[in-house]
Amino acid sequence: MTTRSDRPEAGGAAAAGICETEQLDCKSLRLVTGRTADFDELARDCVCFANGSGGKIVLGVEDRHEHPPADQRVDQALLDRIRKRIGELTVNVQVLPEIHHDANGGEYVVVAVPRSVGVASTGDGRYFVRIGDTCRPVVGDDVLRLADERPAVPWETMTSLGILTAAADRAELEKWTAAIRASGRVNASVKEKSDAELLDHYALARGSTLTNLGVLLLGTAADRARLGSAPIIQAIKFDERGEKVGKYVWDDYTLSPTELIDAVWAAIPDFRESYELPDGMFRTAVPAFEEAVVRELLVNALVHRPYTQRGDIFLNLHPDQLEIVNPGRLPIGVSPRNILHVTRRRNEGMARVFHDLGLMEREGSGFDLLYERLLASGRGAPMVREGADSVHVTIPRRVIQPGVIQLVVEADKRYQLTQRERIALGLLAQTEGLSAAALAERLELEDPAASRPWIDRLLERGLVEQTGRGRGTGYLVPPALLRKAGLDRLTTLTGVQPHRLRALILEDLRRFPDSSASEVHRRVGSEIPERTFRRALENLTTRSEIVPGGAARWRRYRVGPGHGQQ
């Protein structure tokens, strides 16, 4: 086995400072040397990668560094020690350590961890899995799910049907190979491969036999039906009363997953409907559903579903929303609370094909795109719900705040916003401001401080303003920008701005003088937090804009002298 290597792939990643990805992690060499050595931690990380899709651990590059120390040297005996200790501390884990040379002359170790054949664990019976760039424990019933989702041989690469590549649909094969060779995402060296070599490269065939993935993408309709879990899609339209008024079905297996996306989009008339919104003296046509959003939903349903179980994909079309129901639960470690940030691909081979054909971004789940496109178009964020054996994703049909479109477009044109910034700006523009905690919750972040990369540049550019400090920190879009975009008449009260809340209280007391605080609170908006309402009431009293009468619980309020008229 080669113990010293100058291969660029691992070193290149480390040199670029990319040390926290789904398949790469960087750690100090002290983890395996000297008195601070902690092989138990390294064993946990190896189990994580083995239960995921495999990966590499770079030992010898410190946090926030791009290179190892120039004078760092690695004893070759360390490789044997790593192999021995990981073998003692884990089950079903294989490691392949090598010494690499960096461009600055320093040395470091790259520990390659292949995907395990069975479920990997530490020697003391604990299970971990790599989710995005984090190592997470697997406990309780999820251990059984992990074993069920990780067969010894991935479903995609199985050849149990025994269908020869010669029996593939020739038209499908020619169309697929032509699309791969025309793709801008495929390297020139891959495009030069023969048809047989392409099938092997993308794991669509093993030798002369099609894999399950190959049957799914290139097989005949009869062969797809034999798989037992080839996708069937049903689109059902409902009216305002919830009655079924239309149905479209793709259940004859004549289309591959890559073809189903175009077929569904083209067949359903609702996807081409639009409605008009006022735009000054003119009216602007807005599509009921954005094509990019619908396609992304379909791609996610097809690529991330478990193909080891049966179940149809449902598109439920309601007058005000679209719901997609996919069989199976979310992958272990992914939940409706973290789906915006956490990625775990269930079908690696299919994700690779869809990515190279330009149908998806392989690096992410696609939910960041859904958030961005929906919020930037003045619609609400997608809602994700996990059932007992299904995943439901719902997107709104109607534009809630048309002015958000203009606001985000103009801001993006001027400042070239990132995707995260467009999402944060869209969220804040659709509300009257959010506390730091509420913004973090909307962005599915565990800590309010984690939202700073999303909004720091928005604050610098004046697109967002900060209010309060500490736990009272809040963010809002400046009123001048809201007025310019026609967003100064929002109705959401849970994040209401102080000046607007005071105006609402004054207006209420003009109409209902001598009211108690609880009566005003109920009429103005009971969803407003009690502390926020009381603070506004005290502020108005201090400024003599309202005058209290009575004591304690019998206290009543009325508008002060000079404030009776607007």
Nearest to 349 by CA among 187, 212, 162, 208: 212
Same domain, 23 and 87: yes
Same domain, 68 and 17: yes
Same domain, 213 and 237: no
Percent of the chain scored above 70 by pLDDT?
A: 89
Positive or negative torsion for Cα 394, 400, 406, 411? negative
Same domain, 470 and 426: yes
Grade residue 364 by pLDDT with cuts at 50, 70 and 90: low
Q: What is the pLDDT at residue 563? A: 63
Domain containing residue 79: CATH number? 3.30.950
Q: What is the pLDDT at residue 7? A: 38
Same domain, 439 and 350: no
Q: What is the pLDDT at residue 330? A: 86
Task: Give me the chain's average pLDDT, please.
Answer: 85
Q: Which of 181, 199, 227 is the last residue of a domain?
A: 227
Same domain, 505 and 421: no
φ and ψ of 184, to 5 deg:
-75, -5
DSSP assignment letter at 242:
S
Any domain includes 389 = no
φ and ψ of 142, to 5 deg:
-65, -20
What does the DSSP assignment read for 154-208?
-GGG--TT--BGGGS-HHHHHHHHHHHHH-TTS-HHHHTS-HHHHHHHTTSEETT
Other CB atoms within 10 A of residue 275 CB: 13
Q: Is the pLDDT of residue 171 over 90?
A: yes
Tell me the CA distances in angstroms from 123 to 127, 145, 193, 376, one per residue in order. Answer: 10, 20, 44, 49
Same domain, 137 and 39: yes
Grade residue 278 by pLDDT with cuts at 50, 70 and 90: low
DSSP assignment letter at 455:
H
Same domain, 161 and 143: no
Tell me the CA distances in angstroms from 338 to 330, 341, 368, 419, one per residue in order. Answer: 11, 6, 11, 17
- Residue 262 tokens read as 């175009």
Average pLDDT value for residue range 260-286: 79
Among 209-223, 274-288, 302-316, name the most confident range: 209-223
- Residue 10 tokens read as 């691992």
pLDDT tens per residue, range 199-251: 999 999 999 999 999 999 999 999 999 999 999 999 999 988 889 999 999 99
Same domain, 24 and 102: yes
Grade residue 74 by pLDDT with cuts at 50, 70 and 90: very high
Average pLDDT value for residue range 54-82: 89
Same domain, 471 and 523: no
Q: Would you call 144 helix, strand, or coil by DSSP?
A: helix
Q: What is the pLDDT at residue 95? A: 95
Q: How far is Cα 332 from Cα 317, in angstroms, rounded to an integer? A: 29
Same domain, 361 and 251: yes
- Residue 432 tokens read as 């009257």
Percent of the chain scored above 90 by pLDDT?
A: 44
Q: How far is Cα 24 from Cα 34, in angstroms, rounded to an integer? A: 24
Q: Which of 462, 484, 506 is the last residue of a domain?
A: 484
Domain count, the chain: 5
Average pLDDT value for residue range 472-498: 66
Q: What is the pLDDT at residue 178? A: 96
Q: Which of 484, 514, 548 is the last residue of a domain?
A: 484
Max Cα–Cα distance, the chain, nearest Å: 92
Lowest mean pLDDT among 87-96, 186-195, 474-483: 474-483
Grade residue 166 by pLDDT with cuts at 50, 70 and 90: very high
Q: Give 321's strand partners.
A: 318, 396
Average pLDDT value for residue range 454-482: 87
Grade residue 277 by pLDDT with cuts at 50, 70 and 90: low
Average pLDDT value for residue range 318-342: 86
Any domain includes 489 = no
pLDDT tens per residue, range 420-451: 898 999 888 887 678 888 898 888 887 888 88
Grade residue 504 by pLDDT with cuts at 50, 70 and 90: confident
* Residue 528 contacts residue 504 (beta carbons within 8 Å): no
Average pLDDT value for residue range 4-30: 61
Domain containing residue 316: CATH number? 3.30.565.60
Domain containing residue 547: CATH number? 1.10.10.10
* Residue 307 contacts residue 212 (beta carbons within 8 Å): yes
- Residue 239 tokens read as 């009216």
Task: Please give the residue range of the domain that contains residue 273.
Answer: 233-374
Q: What is the pLDDT at residue 6? A: 40
Same domain, 220 and 240: no
Q: What is the pLDDT at residue 340? A: 80
